[in-house]
């Protein structure tokens, strides 16, 4: 599985409207074959920072970055960003979320 975490620092004037700007890109990515999840969160410490958690089947990453909606999504985001996003992209074992042993119910 490919696991990706991206931090997006958004210009303050676009922080509140960011989810609306990325809505189409998010929906299209979630509909891709091999997408496991594509979830946005907003930082509690910095209201201008959004964090994206995404995962794909091993063979789905290339199709994602070569899709039309990926290119369109980047162009939509580009003018709204305060700085270049920071990313962690890794191949990891597993097929999805595991349960946390330390907080079993």
- Model confidence over 10-24: pLDDT tens digits? 999 999 999 999 999
**Tokens representing residue 67 in the block:** 């899709």
**pLDDT single digits (tens) 39-95:** 999 999 999 999 999 999 998 888 888 899 999 999 999 999 999 999 999 999 999
85 φ/ψ angles, rounded to the nearest 5 degrees: -60, 150
**Cα separation, 41 vs 53, whole angstroms:** 8
- Domains of the chain, each with CATH number or no CATH: 2-94 (3.30.70.100)
What is the pLDDT averaged over residues 25-52?
A: 97
pTM of the model: 0.92
């Amino acid at each position: 599985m490919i696991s990706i975490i991206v931090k997006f620092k958004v210009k303050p004037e676009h922080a509140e409207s960011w989810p609306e700007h990325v809505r189409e890109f998010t929906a299209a990515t979630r509909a891709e074959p091999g997408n496991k999840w594509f979830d946005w969160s907003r930082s509690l410490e910095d209201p201008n920072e959004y964090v994206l958690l995404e995962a794909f089947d091993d063979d789905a990453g290339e199709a994602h970055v070569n899709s039309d909606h990926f290119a369109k999504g980047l162009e939509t985001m580009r003018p709204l960003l305060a700085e270049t996003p920071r990313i962690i992209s890794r191949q990891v074992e597993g097929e999805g979320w595991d349960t946390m042993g330390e907080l079993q119910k």
